[in-house]
């Protein structure tokens, strides 16, 4: 997924503090229920929005989890697999947004993950006068909780957000405790795409790498950063115990690849398929996704 540099990360953390300060000050002014300082360092205020557009699967999941599902009118392409999103208007891919397309939904709040684009469209949406909240995307546990806190403050669901964050924390702590008892970590290969015997794998600094580590696996593709085509020899040199993918392929098709023939994964038929947004979206259910993956990686571990 994305790798944001450290300055932006620090900035967004500071914004969270600023956001909670904004929240404190709003108690003295009850007429402005939801006010936050967003990732663009701009103050955003809304009062009981009824037509929300959410862009980014994690944001859609959080807004739904905070009980605002009925007030969401449109979502982006990455959110269509989110539970409960069926029937909502799809405004297209988050990095190829259309100003008019978003505004045609008559939104009274636009919540956007800050890895969306193009930048000119985000600027035009901000200038449209519709409340526009840019939510920082950082693929870590803290990053998820930052999103929850900000959206909770914005939607006047502070208590729900706090509870959601506690649940997320608890789920991660529970998983980590179980994982720490493991004696052995199975080797995992994340396959982003597969065409014509060429395997594009998830290297270090990817959301896939993070989720594999959280689930107590060991990513074998750490010699490179990002998602890259990995040579068959490199895979043969460190054969995976399991293969993780987002699309459904037949087990035979994947595990009969030259690079994987003879690997423990092929011998035991361990091909794990999970939905992309759920697995890599870094939303409120990431702990669940990591636990589900852990269950598949360590069948003997009671999770």
Q: How far is the CB of 41 from other proteins (least distance, A)?
A: 13
Q: How far is the CB of 137 from other proteins (least distance, A)?
A: 10
Interactions with other proteins, residue window 259-298 (CB under 8 A) = none
Phi, psi dihedral angles at 43 (to 5 degrees): -75, 130
Q: Does 231 bind other proteins (CB under 8 A)?
A: no
Q: Of 79-87, 139-147, 155-163, 226-234, which part binds other proteins (CB under 8 A)?
A: 226-234
Per-residue binding letters, 93-122, with other proteins (x by CB under 8 A): x-xxxxxxxxxxxx--------x-xxxxx-
**CA 85, CA 119: separation in Å to the nearest integer?**
26
**243 contacts 272 by C-beta, under 8 angstroms:** yes
DSSP 12-43: HHHHHHHHHHHHHHHHH-TTS-EEEE-TTS-E
Q: Of 5-13, 29-37, 248-256, 260-268, which part binds other proteins (CB under 8 A)?
A: 5-13
Q: Report which of 222, 259, 254 is spatially closest to residue 237, judged by C-alpha positions.
A: 259
Question: How many residues make contact with other proteins (CB under 8 A)?
Answer: 42
Q: Does 87 bind other proteins (CB under 8 A)?
A: no
Beta bridge partners of 90: 75
Closer residue to other proteins in complex, CB, 17/93: 93
**CA 173, CA 184: separation in Å to the nearest integer?**
19
Q: Could you count the other beta carbons within 10 Å of the beta carbon of residue 3?
A: 13
**CA 261, CA 179: separation in Å to the nearest integer?**
29
Q: Of residues 6, 129, 180, 183, which one binds other proteins by CB under 8 A?
A: 129
Residues contacting 28, CB < 8 A, separation 6+ = none
Q: Does 206 bind other proteins (CB under 8 A)?
A: yes
Interactions with other proteins, residue window 60-79 (CB under 8 A) = 74, 77
Q: Of 22-30, 126-134, 214-222, 270-278, which part binds other proteins (CB under 8 A)?
A: 126-134
Residues contacting 256, CB < 8 A, separation 6+ = 266
Q: Of 42-50, 180-188, 222-230, 235-243, which part binds other proteins (CB under 8 A)?
A: 222-230
Please report, for residues 26, 38, 76, 181, 273, the alpha-carbon distance to residue 295 in angstroms, rounded to integers and kept in the order given: 43, 37, 30, 14, 13
Q: Does 226 bind other proteins (CB under 8 A)?
A: yes
Closer residue to other proteins in complex, CB, 83/193: 193
**51 contacts 110 by C-beta, under 8 angstroms:** no
Q: How far is the CB of 104 from other proteins (least distance, A)?
A: 4
Q: How far is the CB of 123 from other proteins (least distance, A)?
A: 8
Q: Does 130 bind other proteins (CB under 8 A)?
A: yes
**What residues make contact with other proteins under the rule CB under 8 A?**
1-3, 5, 7-8, 74, 77, 89-93, 95-106, 115, 117-121, 123-124, 127-130, 206, 225-228
């Amino acid at each position: 997924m994305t790798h944001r540099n450290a300055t932006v990360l620090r900035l967004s953390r500071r914004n969270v503090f600023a956001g909670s300060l904004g929240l404190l000050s709003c108690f003295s002014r009850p007429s402005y229920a939801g006010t936050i300082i967003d990732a663009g360092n701009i103050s955003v205020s809304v009062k009981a929005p009824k037509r929300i557009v959410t862009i980014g699967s994690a944001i859609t999941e959080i807004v739904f989890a905070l009980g605002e599902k009925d007030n969401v009118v449109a979502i982006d392409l990455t959110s269509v697999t989110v539970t409960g999103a069926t029937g909502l208007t799809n405004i297209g891919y988050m990095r190829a947004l259309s100003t008019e397309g978003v505004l045609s939904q008559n939104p009274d709040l636009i919540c956007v993950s800050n890895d969306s684009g193009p930048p000119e469209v985000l600027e035009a949406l901000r200038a449209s006068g519709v409340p526009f909240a840019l939510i920082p995307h950082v693929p870590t546990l803290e990053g998820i909780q930052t999103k929850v806190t900000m959206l909770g403050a914005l939607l006047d669901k502070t208590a729900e957000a706090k509870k959601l964050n506690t649940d997320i924390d608890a789920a991660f702590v529970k998983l980590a405790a179980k994982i720490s008892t493991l004696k052995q970590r199975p080797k995992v290969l994340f396959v982003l795409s597969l065409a014509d015997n060429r395997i594009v794998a998830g290297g270090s600094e990817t959301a896939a790498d993070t989720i594999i580590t959280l689930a107590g696996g060991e990513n074998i593709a750490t010699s490179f950063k990002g998602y890259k085509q990995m040579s068959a020899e490199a895979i043969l040199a460190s054969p995976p115990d399991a293969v993780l993918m987002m699309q459904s392929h037949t087990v035979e098709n994947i595990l009969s690849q030259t690079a994987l023939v003879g690997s423990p994964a092929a011998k035991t038929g361990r091909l794990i398929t999970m939905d992309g947004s759920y697995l890599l979206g870094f939303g409120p259910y990431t702990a669940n996704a990591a636990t589900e993956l852990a269950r598949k990686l360590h069948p003997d571990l009671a999770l």
